[in-house]
Each structure stands twice: as C-alpha cells, then as structure tokens.
Amino acid sequence: MKETFYITTPIYYPSGKLHIGNTYTTVLCDTINRYKNLRGFDTRYLTGMDEHGQKVQTVALELGKTPQEHVDDIAEDTKKLWNMLDIQYDDFIRTTEKRHKTIVKQIFEKLLDQDDIYLGEYEGYYCMPDESFFTETQLGENHTCPDCGRPTTIVKEESYFLRLSKYEKRLLDFIDKNPDFITPESRKNEVVSFIKQGLFDLSVSRTSFDWGIKVISNPAHVVYVWIDALSNYISALGYGTDDNSLYEKYWKGDEVIHVVGKDILRFHAIFWPIMLMALDIPITFKLYAHGWYMMKDGKMSKSKGKVVYPEPLIERYGLDPVRYYLLRELPYAGDGVFTPEDFVARTNFDLANDFGNLLNRTINMINKYFDSNLEKPKPSNSSFDEELIQKTQDTVLAFQTNMDELKVAAAIQEIWSLVSRTNKYIDETTPWVLAKDEDKKVDLQRVMYNLVEAIRHIGILLRPILLEASEELFKQLNISEHLQTWESLKWGELGDIEVTKSPVPIFPRLDKETEEEYLTNLLNNKVVPVKAIEEDLIDISDFAKLDIVVGEILECAKHPDADKLLVSKINTLDKVRQIVSGISAYYTPEELVGKKVVVIKNLKPVKIRGILSEGMILAGKNKKDLEVLSVNALNAGDKIS
Ligand code: ME8
C-alpha cells in the first residue's frame, strides 16, 4: 500500500485580497505535495479560509455587505487565484461551513465538560469605536488603537479559558521526545524558551461580537479564533462524524505536515498540540515555519499600500517565473526581500539563459547535425561523460534529500547546479568541432544523447516546480510519459530521440530596464499601463504572411504509427491537401469528415511520423478540451483574415 502524506496551509483571513506572502505558503505546499505525488505517495492537500472574527464583521459592514456575503466573495477570489497558480489542492475548507462548525461546537463542549475550558474574565485594551480588544503588543504609541489611532481603555469581559498551564510539562516532554516536531531548529528553540517562561491560560471566547461559532451551552459567547481555526485540519477530514475515513487514513497515516508562517508558529506549536492532548487525539503532525517576504523598506503592509499581489505578475510574466521566484528567493530559515531587480535577474539568468537556452541549443544542434532524429548510442567512457552522469545522479539524491527536509530553495539550487554542469559539458565537448569531422559522428551522437538525457532528468525534477516549462520540455524533446516519472530517473533509460523540428524558447528574455521600471511602479502602487512584453508583439505584416482559408474535410483516418495523430484529406479549393494533426484524443475521424475547418495553407510541408503534412488545422485548447475551429456559411477556399 502507498504511504500517505497530508499537507496543509494555514487558513487565510478574508480581510482582503491575498498577497505574495500568502501565495508563497500555498505555492510551497503545492510544490511539496506534487513532489510527494511524483514519489508515489497517496497525498492529500488542504487549504482554506478562516472566516470568523470581529475584523471580518467590521470590513463587511464597511463594504455594505453581510459578513457571509463578504467571505463568499473573498473565498471565490481566492479559489480563482489558486486556479491561476494551478494549485492542486484536494479540499478547500471554510470555517463558515456546517461540516466545520458542528465539529468545533462538539470540541468546545467536550473540553468544557472535562474542565479543560473554564469561565473567567478577560482583560484587555479595548477600542470603543472599533469595538475591538487588543493585546499590549498590538497597540500603537501611548496605548492607542492600531486600527484607528484613538485611545484604548482597559476593559474586562467574561470569557472562557483553555488551561494551557496544565499541559505545559507534557508539551515540553513531547517536543523533547520528537526532535523534528518543529523545524527549522532555530524556531523550535524560540518555542521551547517561550513555553519555559510559563504558559498563561488562553482566552477562547468573546461576547463583544457575534460573527463566530456560538458556544452551545452559552450562546452569548462565540468561540474565539484559535480553537475555531486550528480545528480545520481535522474537521476537513471528517473527524467526529459518521464518515471519518479520511481522518483515519490521513491524520493517522504516515506523514502529516502543517506549513505555517513564523508569526503563527506559536499557535500551532503550543495551543494545537495542547488541544489535541486534551481531546485525546494523537499528535501526528510536524510543523514547518517559514520566514516572510519583505519589501526593500520593511514589512508588507496593505494599509500603507506596500504590498505585492500575484495576479499582475502572473498575467505579465506567466505562471512559472512567479512560482520559481517565490520558491527560490526565500531561504529555508530566514526572510526574503522581493525586489524588481532580483525578479528580472532570476527570470533572465536562471530561466531564460541557463535553463531555456540549454534546451533550445540542444534541440537546434540535434536538428542541425542529425535532422532531428538520433539513435541511442552505445555506452562509452569519456571522462566528460562520466562526470556528467555522476553529477546527474548526485543531483537526484541531493534534490530528494532537500525536498524531504522541505528545503525547497536548496533543492532548486541543486537542479541549477546540474543545469550549469550540463552547459559546461557543451563547452567541454564542443559539438560544433565534432560536427566538422565525419569520423567523430559517433562522438557527436553520444554528446547529443547525453545532453538530452541530462535535460530529461532536469525536467523530471522540475515537474513540481515549473509546471508549464517542464511539460513544454518533454513536448519539445518528444519524451513519452513513462520517461517522465520518478522511477525513470536512471541514466540510459532514454531510447532513440526525435526532437521537435520547430523549437520555441520556453522563457523569453525580459528587457531589464522596462521590466524593472514596470515592477517598481507596481510595487509602489502606481497605475501601470497594461502592456505586453515587447518580444511577444507582432506586426500586422507578420500576420499577413499567413495564408488562412476554409478547408472541407473529405476524408480522415488514424495515423498508422502514432496514436495521437489523425491524417485528414482537406479540400482548400486550390487542391486537396493532406494534413496531420495531434487531435485524436478529442475527435474520431468520423466526427471530422464533412466539417469546414480553418486551415493555414502556407506552412512548409513536413513529414510527421513518416506522413507528409501540408498545412495546419486551427484549434483552441484549454486544460480539459480541444476544439477545432469550424465555420458554417463559408465554403472551401474562402479566405480568413
Ligand atoms: O494567520 N511573507 O491568517 P493570515 C510570507 N488565519 N508569509 C506571509 C506574509 C509574508 N509577507 N504575510 C503573511 C492567519 N504571511 C490565520 C491562520 S491557521 C489555523 C490560521 C503568512 O491570512 C502568515 O505567516 O493572516 C501566515 O502563515 C499566512 O500567511 C496566513 O496569514
């Protein structure tokens, strides 16, 4: 049976749009989850929203919405963002859902019944106009309200408390016996010294607002954030319900990881295990606390307008450069600074130059020297080859070790070290010199094979990180699915090679000045004209070069040697032309006969798997579907412009 792996993000407050800080946590978990999937684990990835509390109530009021309407809107936006980032979560829990509220109510009553929760009085700094309590550390100068700046007063309120002090010793023992419970080590030490100073019981209910889960036995109280929020990790698994199979499988399974930001580590490292001890639920999870993304001049702050949102970055640069930057720039145990200069440099140097160029150069050379086809060579022993092979194997191991320890930035560095080594291999073996000497053809063949084999390994390691580029890499190198798996990470698994005849660079270089200026404006919240990157723009005369017409499909059949291809005979009036298209996963030949489709006539004819193709049928595509463009009123040969 497969080992199980359960990973969670914090559930986010719906106080506004999510920024790159929250996005970082979600992308990090997505990458780790995809890695575990690649390794063959039975994985489950949970994220969601923490939708109760006074702040939400106040914000909703300001927006003229009910709190529920407000959180519904933000949850919708958040899901859209995760979609944009291709986050592969299995469940999205919202604390306003019935499945969650029922469990929180049960948990609260149980803790109350067994006297782990008791009624007392909460004393705090209260802002009358905002109707909010604050702790001393949250206050502004002279004990003013951090939200509105007006003076606060000390007010007492009836509140339930969770007995933390009772579990202090047990918790310290637990941390001692489970040295990898909290990572990084430096953060664990902070938690331990905090506990050793002595724990105060935690206020877990409020009477000053009502946007929350009501305490069953005393509905004047709502459950205050942390018992509500932390329970999401098990309520989402059906804990305490008739169907608790997910809880049994994943919570009690092989590996459970909560990824949190450093600011909420204490809640997860102290309150959560104590809650579980009190509830007699096994503490199966490990905690990883990451640092923060800062701006050059300090913390990101929505109220000061110093904040970076991911959407404009993805729209302008694409998904992979954003994922890459976020994962690569934040060190394992520290903070990172988001700067325009670094973003452009990472995209240009790491992605476009080092990695993109390696792939592009390799394909171009195979086209030039071997007309895109290369037989697998006999193994041989040049010292350059041995070094490259050794480096590739070492990289796989180093990548794995780092990923298993959640050191994702370091794991990415390992891949780039192999990228550099592979580029160096080209310089060492000088294929352009080998190509001049017919006697060196076998050497050249071996060099090309080794390049593709190293790049295939890089592609597999990149699958959890660069989602589109890794797919594109396999496509351009024509590498079949069984050679994209973790199990296929063995040198020499690759057979004969047939690369694309028309390689496209996967990462365009950014113009340094333009993009740094664009990003600086974006970071300063200046209105930025939406402008596509220059290299993507074409002139109308470029478009006019295409000869596009209506073509009527007269005959269609499966390609004899390739499952994914169909071969159509199409009347474009000037002649009946044969076109090979990769659409057989979406259409049967019968469905296409009689269709009037859109055809590019003046593409250079090419042989695709041995069959001549004289043009291209246009189709639209998304992740699920592909649809061939077709017309009704027009006839074969009619021009499209
Ligand atoms: O704390 N860089 O929610 P939240 C990196 N609802 N991470 C950052 C960041 C930054 N600049 N700013 C925020 C909550 N984060 C609670 C969690 S879980 C049971 C309840 C991270 O929306 C922050 O560290 O305020 C935290 O991990 C996460 O975003 C959610 O923050």
pLDDT in tens, 464-521: 999 999 999 999 999 999 999 999 999 999 999 999 999 999 999 999 999 999 999 9
Instruction: Please state the rounded mean pLDDT for residues 149-174.
Output: 93
Q: Is 121 exposed, middle or buried (0-12, 13-18, 19+ CB in 10 A)?
A: exposed
**Ligand 1 atom closest to residue 299's alpha carbon, by position in its atom list:** 11
Q: Ligand 1 center to residue 116 CA distance, Å?
A: 28
pLDDT digit string, tens, across residues 354-378 = 999 999 999 999 999 999 999 999 8
pLDDT digit string, tens, across residues 228-249 = 999 999 999 999 999 999 999 9
For the chain, give the mean pLDDT: 93
Instruction: Please state the rounded mean pLDDT for residues 382-410.
Output: 96
Phi-psi region of 49 (alpha: psi -120 to 50; beta: other; left: phi over 0): beta
Q: Ligand 1 center to residue 262 CA distance, Å?
A: 8
Instruction: Please state the rounded mean pLDDT for residues 435-459.
Output: 96
**Protein residues with CB under 6 Å of any ligand 1 atom:** 10-13, 21-22, 24-25, 50, 229-230, 232, 260-261, 263-264, 292-293, 300
CA dihedral for 325, 327, 331, 337, sign (positive or negative): positive
Residue whose CA lies nearest to ligand 1 atom number 28: 22
- Coil/strand/helix, residue 149: coil
Q: Ligand 1 center to residue 105 CA distance, Å?
A: 25
* Ligand 1 mutation target, pool 18, 25, 268, most atoms within 8 A of CB: 25
Q: Ligand 1 center to residue 323 CA distance, Å?
A: 18
Q: pTM for this structure?
A: 0.82
DSSP assignment of 445-510 equals HHHHHHHHHHHHHHHHHHTTT-HHHHHHHHHHHT--GGGSSSTT-STT---SEE--SS---SSPPP
pLDDT digit string, tens, across residues 321-354 = 999 999 999 999 899 999 999 999 999 999 999 9
Residue whose CA lies nearest to ligand 1 atom number 10: 21
* Ligand 1 mutation target, pool 8, 12, 267, 307, most atoms within 8 A of CB: 12
Q: Ligand 1 center to residue 303 CA distance, Å?
A: 16
256, two tokens: 């459970």
Domains and CATH numbers, the chain: 4-290 (3.40.50.620), 333-498 (1.10.730.10), 541-628 (2.40.50.140)
Q: Ligand 1 center to residue 40 CA distance, Å?
A: 30
**What is the structure's pLDDT at 533?**
47
Q: Ligand 1 center to residue 29 CA distance, Å?
A: 13
Q: How far apart are CA 202 and CA 220, in angstroms?
A: 19
Instruction: Please state the rounded mean pLDDT for residues 287-297.
Output: 93
Residue whose CA lies nearest to ligand 1 atom number 26: 261
Q: Which is it for strands 639-640 and 548-558: parallel, antiparallel or unpaired?
A: antiparallel
DSSP assignment of 41-85 equals -EEEEEEEE---SHHHHHHHHHTTS-HHHHHHHHHHHHHHHHHHT
* Ligand 1 mutation target, pool 15, 29, 264, 290, most atoms within 8 A of CB: 264
Q: Residue 136 contacts by C-beta under 8 Å, 6 or more apart in sequence?
A: 125, 143
Q: Ligand 1 center to residue 9 CA distance, Å?
A: 9
